[in-house]
Chain A
Amino acid sequence: MSYPGTYRFTKEHEWIEVNGDTATIGITDHAQHLLGDIVFVDLPKPGTELKKKESFGSVESVKAVSDVYAPASGTVTEVNGSLTSAPETINEDANATWLLKATLSDPAELDSLLDAAAYEQYVSEETGS
């Protein structure tokens, strides 16, 4: 699966897409592949402050739990409630399955993130493939 050119990525395998005032955040296809069958998602409530590089929740597969880190600082405005009953949609399409939406406090923080090509390169180096 390819990574959308409009997204930015972290080395902790989150993606973020910014549209106007709203940022949408998810985990990458590589992350869902590493985790395997996702069975549980723990996310913060709307209004929660996000701080760049700090954990805001977790995604769990049968075999492992993985923290999810904020790609940028801001405030949660919306949480993807459908993941409570159907967390496996992340496995099916990680690019299209968002965890939460937020307003960013410092959009300049995005500059330090990877673009799609750089992330793909990073993943291939990490897996040695």
Chain B
Amino acid sequence: MSEADGTLTLDLKVSEPLRRTGLHGTHKTLKAKMVDFGGWEMPVEYAGLVAEHNAVRTAVGVFDVSHMGCIQLRGPGSLDAVQKLLMNDASRLQVGQAHYSAMLTPDGTFVDDVVLHKLSENDYLIVINAGTREKDVQWVRRTIGQMPSVHINDYSDLYTQIAIQGPLAEQTLQKLTDVDLGTIKNYWFKWGKVAGQYNVLIARTGYTGEDGFEIYVPSDEATSADVWRQVFEAGQEFGIVPCGLGARNTLRLESSMALYGHEISDEINVFEAGLNRYCKLEKPMDFVGKTALLAAGEPTRKLVGLEMVDRGIARDGYAVRSLEGEPLGVVTSGSPSPTLKKNIAMAFVPAVDAVHGNELAVEIRGSLVKARVVATPFYKRVRKPAEIIS
């Protein structure tokens, strides 16, 4: 799952119409630095980005991800609708299972990337990005709204979504529920009572490259704040910390997960983004974008991982050049990596240059700084047997 485009600016000024989650008051009490992210007033960091990042890698951290939207498709025609709307093959999902997928334009580029959950037969939940919520809902209505026997429900405002992430996420959340979390495999989910709330969707999903859960609770302020408080009480002995969008970005970048508006957009197709394995051209039902992708052939540019060789930090939008200064492409995301203690980036380069070990340069404030193409993900956790993707 990825977040929609949103620049993490330093400007603390917040204009009036920004939207707030049910945990807004909680963030204020915690003295979070708030920023405009895709039209939402969200915490970018609390005590500090690096400490938050490290907590998720080594213990447990918690994110408010209520700005993400969710659309439910239900009815006898819902599987056909999902199959037309999304590029992955939803017929492979069992009840209680989720997978990464995307809505494509007729050109085979991205409307948004999503996580699809199969709630029951004829009942699907699509989790979408914050900054693209309205666009996505319109797109869904336009694309499948005339198909038979499917209801489209925008449930985005009904849930507070809390992501509990890190190697100790399971031990933390287990204290608050009778559901045996050990029986939930990676990218599966169950329903159960959590922190006193009934029928909470508990999904073993996340956007950090670490083990963890995302829970969906009612979005009213009192419930949201109470569940959040109980999660922190449960995790206190493990050093649990609240985490902002800053850490969310460095965690997902180390794990090479796409961010809408950066690695994927309506100008980048599936093959360029390297997301082929989630795109099932062979599934029986035609989906939006398939025809263009069948005709597209090998991409001329590819998304690669870069590691800076010389001193300097590549940032989103910086130019990628050859060592001689010829223009090659652009950095889509770049940051210091707190885990690897290197400066890393994702970038588009010509396919011929997308070779591991290839040296090129990132233009940083007028200077060419040497970088090397490396394998992604930059960081990969050691998985426990229970979380192997089926």
Contacts and interface: CB of A to CB of B under 8 A. Distances in A.
Contacts of B313: 39-40, 60, 65
Q: In terms of DSSP, what is the predominant structure of the interface of chain B?
A: loop
Contacts of B335: 62-63
Contact of B45 (A36, A40, A65, A128): A36
Nearest to A66: B10
Most buried by B among A37, A39, A42, A128: A37
B50 A62 contact: yes
Contacts of B45: 36, 63
Given A63-B44, A63-B335, A64-B9, A37 B315 contact: no
Nearest to B245: A63
B208 interface: no
A66 B11 CA distance: 11
B246 A36 contact: yes
Contacts, number: 52
Contacts of B315: 65
B365 A63 contact: no
B49 interface: yes
A65 B45 CA distance: 16
Contact of A39 (B9, B12, B336, B365): B336
A34 B246 CA distance: 12
Contact of A62 (B10, B33, B250): B250
Contacts of A42: 365
Interface in B334-390: 335-336, 338, 365
Nearest to A84: B311
Interface residues of A, number: 18
Given A36-B49, A37-B50, A63 B249 contact: yes
A63 B12 contact: no
A111 interface: no
A85 to B, nearest CB: 11
A84 to B, nearest CB: 9
A126 B11 CA distance: 9
B93 interface: no
B336 A34 contact: no
A80 interface: no
Given A60-B313, A62-B246, A62-B336, A34 B49 contact: no
Interface in B33-51: 33, 44-45, 48-50
Contact of A127 (B12, B44, B249, B312): B12
Nearest to A36: B49
A61 B315 CA distance: 11
B13 A62 contact: no
B114 to A, nearest CB: 26
Interface in B1-37: 8-10, 12-14, 33
A121 interface: no
A105 interface: no
Interface in B227-253: 246, 249-250
Nearest to B335: A62
Contacts of A128: 12-14
A35 interface: yes
Contacts of A61: 49
Contact of A63 (B14, B246, B311): B246
A39 B49 CA distance: 12
B48 A34 contact: no
Contacts of A48: none
A112 interface: no
Interface in A57-112: 58, 60-66
A13 B365 CA distance: 21
A34 B10 contact: yes
Nearest to B318: A65
B345 to A, nearest CB: 13
Nearest to A64: B10
Contacts of B33: 34, 36
A20 to B, nearest CB: 33
A64 B8 contact: yes
Q: Which 6 A-B pairs have the closest CB atoms?
A: A63-B246, A37-B50, A34-B10, A127-B12, A39-B336, A62-B49
Given A39-B336, A42-B365, A62-B49, 11 more contacts: A36-B33, A36-B45, A37-B48, A60-B313, A61-B49, A63-B8, A66-B10, A126-B12, A128-B12, A128-B13, A128-B14
12 contacts: A39-B313, A42-B365, A60-B336, A62-B53, A63-B44, A63-B246, A63-B249, A63-B250, A63-B335, A64-B8, A66-B10, A128-B13
Interface of B: 8-10, 12-14, 33, 44-45, 48-50, 53, 246, 249-250, 311-313, 315, 335-336, 338, 365
